[in-house]
Structure 1
Amino acid sequence: MLQLFFAVAFSAVPLTLYVPPIRSLNLFVETVEDVLRQSTLYTLRAYPRIRLAISRIFNSIFHLSR
Protein backbone atom coordinates (compact mmCIF):
# COMPACT_ATOMS: atom_id res chain seq x y z
CA MET A 1 0.00 0.00 0.00
CA LEU A 2 2.88 2.33 0.80
CA GLN A 3 4.43 1.63 -2.59
CA LEU A 4 1.17 2.60 -4.32
CA PHE A 5 1.04 5.84 -2.34
CA PHE A 6 4.58 6.79 -3.35
CA ALA A 7 3.95 5.87 -6.97
CA VAL A 8 0.89 8.12 -7.14
CA ALA A 9 2.58 10.94 -5.23
CA PHE A 10 5.72 11.00 -7.36
CA SER A 11 3.77 10.76 -10.62
CA ALA A 12 1.59 13.75 -9.68
CA VAL A 13 4.41 16.07 -8.56
CA PRO A 14 5.69 16.92 -12.09
CA LEU A 15 2.16 17.92 -13.11
CA THR A 16 2.19 20.74 -10.57
CA LEU A 17 5.11 22.35 -12.42
CA TYR A 18 2.92 22.97 -15.48
CA VAL A 19 0.16 24.78 -13.57
CA PRO A 20 1.02 28.46 -13.06
CA PRO A 21 0.18 30.19 -9.79
CA ILE A 22 -3.18 31.96 -9.67
CA ARG A 23 -1.63 35.42 -9.36
CA SER A 24 0.22 35.06 -12.68
CA LEU A 25 -2.68 33.34 -14.43
CA ASN A 26 -4.62 36.63 -14.56
CA LEU A 27 -1.77 38.37 -16.41
CA PHE A 28 -1.52 35.43 -18.82
CA VAL A 29 -5.25 35.55 -19.62
CA GLU A 30 -5.08 39.31 -20.12
CA THR A 31 -2.15 38.93 -22.52
CA VAL A 32 -3.93 36.22 -24.53
CA GLU A 33 -7.06 38.39 -24.80
CA ASP A 34 -4.95 41.32 -25.99
CA VAL A 35 -3.21 39.24 -28.65
CA LEU A 36 -6.53 37.85 -29.89
CA ARG A 37 -8.06 41.32 -29.97
CA GLN A 38 -5.16 42.69 -32.02
CA SER A 39 -5.06 39.76 -34.44
CA THR A 40 -8.82 39.79 -35.15
CA LEU A 41 -8.50 42.57 -37.71
CA TYR A 42 -5.86 40.69 -39.71
CA THR A 43 -7.74 37.40 -39.44
CA LEU A 44 -10.98 38.89 -40.76
CA ARG A 45 -9.11 40.46 -43.66
CA ALA A 46 -7.16 37.31 -44.55
CA TYR A 47 -10.01 34.79 -44.14
CA PRO A 48 -11.69 35.37 -47.54
CA ARG A 49 -8.32 35.17 -49.30
CA ILE A 50 -7.42 31.91 -47.56
CA ARG A 51 -10.83 30.48 -48.39
CA LEU A 52 -10.46 31.44 -52.05
CA ALA A 53 -6.97 29.92 -52.24
CA ILE A 54 -8.09 26.65 -50.66
CA SER A 55 -11.11 26.40 -52.95
CA ARG A 56 -8.89 26.97 -56.00
CA ILE A 57 -6.47 24.27 -54.82
CA PHE A 58 -9.29 21.77 -54.29
CA ASN A 59 -10.86 22.65 -57.63
CA SER A 60 -7.58 22.09 -59.45
CA ILE A 61 -6.99 18.78 -57.66
CA PHE A 62 -10.46 17.43 -58.42
CA HIS A 63 -10.38 18.82 -61.96
CA LEU A 64 -7.13 16.97 -62.69
CA SER A 65 -8.44 13.70 -61.28
CA ARG A 66 -11.32 13.50 -63.76
Structure 2
Amino acid sequence: MLQLFFAVAFSAVPLTLYIPPIRSLNLFVETIEDLLRQMAVHTIRTYPRIRFGFSRILNNLLHLAR
Protein backbone atom coordinates (compact mmCIF):
# COMPACT_ATOMS: atom_id res chain seq x y z
CA MET A 1 0.00 0.00 0.00
CA LEU A 2 2.86 2.35 0.82
CA GLN A 3 4.46 1.68 -2.57
CA LEU A 4 1.19 2.59 -4.30
CA PHE A 5 1.00 5.84 -2.31
CA PHE A 6 4.55 6.83 -3.33
CA ALA A 7 3.93 5.85 -6.95
CA VAL A 8 0.86 8.08 -7.13
CA ALA A 9 2.53 10.91 -5.23
CA PHE A 10 5.64 10.99 -7.41
CA SER A 11 3.65 10.68 -10.62
CA ALA A 12 1.52 13.70 -9.61
CA VAL A 13 4.49 15.93 -8.73
CA PRO A 14 5.15 17.04 -12.36
CA LEU A 15 1.51 18.15 -12.61
CA THR A 16 2.12 20.75 -9.91
CA LEU A 17 4.46 22.58 -12.28
CA TYR A 18 1.49 23.42 -14.52
CA ILE A 19 -0.62 24.90 -11.71
CA PRO A 20 0.35 28.50 -10.89
CA PRO A 21 0.79 29.56 -7.27
CA ILE A 22 -2.24 31.08 -5.56
CA ARG A 23 -0.75 34.58 -5.49
CA SER A 24 -0.42 34.52 -9.29
CA LEU A 25 -3.85 33.00 -9.69
CA ASN A 26 -5.47 35.88 -7.76
CA LEU A 27 -4.00 38.44 -10.14
CA PHE A 28 -5.17 36.36 -13.10
CA VAL A 29 -8.72 36.08 -11.72
CA GLU A 30 -8.81 39.81 -10.98
CA THR A 31 -7.70 40.59 -14.54
CA ILE A 32 -10.33 38.28 -16.04
CA GLU A 33 -13.07 39.82 -13.87
CA ASP A 34 -12.04 43.32 -14.97
CA LEU A 35 -12.03 42.22 -18.61
CA LEU A 36 -15.51 40.71 -18.27
CA ARG A 37 -16.82 43.89 -16.64
CA GLN A 38 -15.49 46.02 -19.50
CA MET A 39 -16.88 43.60 -22.11
CA ALA A 40 -20.31 43.67 -20.48
CA VAL A 41 -20.57 47.43 -20.96
CA HIS A 42 -19.77 47.16 -24.67
CA THR A 43 -22.01 44.12 -25.16
CA ILE A 44 -25.02 45.87 -23.65
CA ARG A 45 -24.52 48.79 -26.05
CA THR A 46 -23.87 46.80 -29.21
CA TYR A 47 -26.30 43.89 -28.78
CA PRO A 48 -29.43 45.80 -29.93
CA ARG A 49 -27.56 47.12 -32.98
CA ILE A 50 -26.34 43.67 -33.96
CA ARG A 51 -29.82 42.23 -33.48
CA PHE A 52 -31.38 44.98 -35.59
CA GLY A 53 -28.80 44.54 -38.35
CA PHE A 54 -29.21 40.78 -38.36
CA SER A 55 -33.00 41.05 -38.58
CA ARG A 56 -32.70 43.45 -41.54
CA ILE A 57 -30.37 41.04 -43.34
CA LEU A 58 -32.77 38.15 -42.72
CA ASN A 59 -35.74 40.22 -43.92
CA ASN A 60 -33.90 41.12 -47.12
CA LEU A 61 -32.95 37.50 -47.74
CA LEU A 62 -36.52 36.32 -47.16
CA HIS A 63 -37.94 38.98 -49.50
CA LEU A 64 -35.42 38.03 -52.21
CA ALA A 65 -36.39 34.37 -51.90
CA ARG A 66 -40.05 35.09 -52.79
User: Which bin holds the TM-score, normalised by the shorter protein?
Assistant: 0.5 to 0.7
Q: Deviations over 1:7-62 (max 9, x none)?
A: xx7xxx7xx65x54443222111101001112222211111001000011111111
- Per the alignment, residue 3 of structure 1 pairs with none
Tell me the TM-score normalized by structure 1.
Answer: 0.61
Q: Mind listing any 5+ residue stretches in structure 1 that lack a counterpart?
A: 1-8
Q: Does 1:65 align with 2:65?
A: yes
Which residues of structure 2 form unaligned runs of 5+? 1-10
* Paired-residue identity, %: 60
Structure 2 distance, partners of 1:29, 1:44, is 22
How many pairs does the alignment contain?
54
SS in structure 1 opposite 2:61?
helix
State the one-letter code of the partner of 2:28: F
Q: Greater CA radius of gyration, 1 or 2?
A: 2
